[in-house]
Amino acid sequence: MRVARNPEKEMEASVAKYRNGINGSFHGKVGTVVGVSWRGVDYFRSLPGKSNQQPTEKQLRQRKLLSDVSSWLRSIREVITIGYQQFTEGPTPMNMAISNLMKHAIKVDNGVKGIDYTRAVISRGELLSSWFAAPAAAGGAAIFLSWANYRPSAFNADDDLITVVVYNTAKEKFVTFHEVACRKDREALLQLPGSFTGDAVHLYVLFVAAAGDAVSTSNYLGELTIL
Q: Which domains, from first to last, does the chain contain? A: 7-46 (no CATH), 57-225 (2.60.40.10)
φ, ψ for residue 172, nearest 5 deg: 50, 50
Question: Which residues pair with residue 220 across a beta bridge?
Answer: 204
Would you say 95 and 84 are in contact if contact means Cβ atoms under 8 Å apart?
no
* The pLDDT of residue 24: 57
Exposed, middle or buried: residue 80 (CB in 10 Å: 0-12, 13-18, 19+)?
buried
Residue 198: partners with Cβ closer than 8 Å, 6 or more residues away: 225, 226
| Apex 134 CA angle, 190 and 115, nearest 5 | 85
Q: Looking only at Cα atoms, what is the longest distance across the chain?
A: 85
Cβ contact 146:132 at 8 Å: yes
- Cα dihedral sign for 33, 34, 39, 41? positive
pLDDT of 3 reads 47
- Which H/E stretch holds residue 166? strand 161-168
Average pLDDT, the chain: 87
Q: Which helix (H) or strand (E) holds 27?
A: strand 26-30
Q: Which amino acid is at 181?
A: A
**Nearest alpha-carbon partner for 158 in 209, 108, 195:** 209
**Which one, of 182, 181, 172, 165, lies nearest residue 83 by Cα?**
165
- Tell me which of 6-10, 191-195, 220-224 is least confident: 6-10
Q: Which amino acid is at 168?
A: N
- 8-state DSSP, 126: B
Task: Give residue-wise pLDDT tens across range 186-203.
Answer: 999 999 999 999 999 999
Q: What is the pLDDT of residues 117-173, one digit of tens each?
A: 999 999 999 999 999 999 999 999 999 999 999 999 999 999 999 999 999 999 999
Give the pLDDT band (50/70/90) at residue 9.
Answer: very low
Pairing mode, if any, of strands 41-46 and 33-38?
Answer: antiparallel
Q: In the chain, pLDDT over 70 holds for what percent of residues?
A: 77
Short-list 71, 105, 100, 68, CA closest to 84: 100
34 touches 28 (CB < 8 A): yes
Angle (deg, nearest 10), helices 57-74 and 93-104 = 130
The pLDDT value recorded for residue 8 is 46
Higher-confidence position of 22 and 47: 47
Burial of 7 (0-12, 13-18, 19+ CB in 10 A): exposed
Residues in the chain, how many?
227
